[in-house]
Structure 1
């Protein structure tokens, strides 16, 4: 796995002559944290962050991106591993890391969220989704949820067979669930 597998594309970029106002609108419209700044041929020349744009909008001093962008910019090659990408993002406190091809043209970006998606096991994400669904159903956290290989194990007390069927049906609605196993909690032991 490398940057090509992790990065978000298509990538939105701006040229140095784009106005601060237009860059701000693009950033807001798409929910990005930063925009790579490229020459007309696509070569990376800088990056403009939401913070840069916010300051420029408040001060109303700069009118174009080239006056506020950070240059030179840290970037990663298409061949960078997830570990290398994470090291660059964390080591330089970046929210957005442009990915460039051999010519230096921007072909994608890697965000912290992209890295978290790659580094977080699918079973963990599935467990959180199922737990959230069951908590919403019961209005309390009644069951423990574990996932292995897409099979969801729900452990805890069930009121009756009808509730077991409902819980099973609910869990099966979550995309990615391969199977469901219920492990009812044992009731209190009665003294004889």
Structure 2
């Protein structure tokens, strides 16, 4: 897997004319641990982290370039994710900007790396189960199976309208490619994997 497969984009960044307050606002409004600092050509010249913000607490109007961390670790879109993770762990980095031909094109954060550990089908299954749980309440009567984004819901349904409704609900879950409603099969007790 490559950086391009997991990086977040578009990247929230601040430019070299920003103040510490501007950078802190970018961090807090978006829930990031760090934001790249870019010049007027969109080239990464530093990174502003939560730690930088805390150290500059009484310098809100200071230029971000005075408190940012210069010498930023960057990577490319083709970089191997395992190598990025190793580098981030070894150097205690929370995120690494992704540059292509010197320009900022994305960022890989720790959460992006963690997402690779969760299989997409597992996420889809959990989301479908949660949605059907809200719909059915204590009547948990369906079995949910997901394979490569293809969802099968089996069990007893009150009627064709409920079968159609369940199918429509499942189709609203991100990552679902198609849905098969297998009515009339024995219902499981609780949710089944």
TM range (shorter): 0.7 to 0.9
Q: What's the CA shift for 1:21? A: 1.0
Partner of 1:92: 91
Q: Does 1:37 align with 2:33?
A: no
Take 1:26 and 1:152, find their aligned partners in 2: how far apart are those partners?
Answer: 38
Aligned ranges 1:1-192 → 2 under 5 Å: 1-57=1-57, 59-60=58-59, 63-102=62-101, 104-140=102-138, 142=140, 143-154=142-153, 158=156, 160-161=158-159, 165=163, 166-175=165-174, 176-182=176-182, 183-185=185-187
8 Å Cα contact 1:172/1:180 also seen in 2: no
* Alignment check: 8 A CA contact 2:7 2:108 kept: yes
Partner residue in 2 for 1:190:
none
Runs of at least 5 residues in structure 1 that lack an aligned partner in the other structure: 188-192
> What 5-or-longer segments of structure 2 have no aligned partner?
none
Give the Cα–Cα distance (whole angstroms) in 2 for the partners of residues 96 and 140 of structure 1: 42
When residues 18 and 126 of structure 1 are mapped into structure 2, their CA distance, relative to the original with a 3 A threshold, is same
**Is the radius of gyration larger for structure 1 or structure 2?**
1
> Quick one: distance in 2 between partners of 1:169 and 1:181?
10
Change (3 A) 1:66 1:138: same
C-alpha change, 1:13 and 1:136, in structure 2 (3 Å) is same
**RMSD between superposed Cα atoms in Å:** 3.2
Residue 75 of structure 1 deviates from its aligned partner by 1.5
- TM-score when scaled to structure 1? 0.74
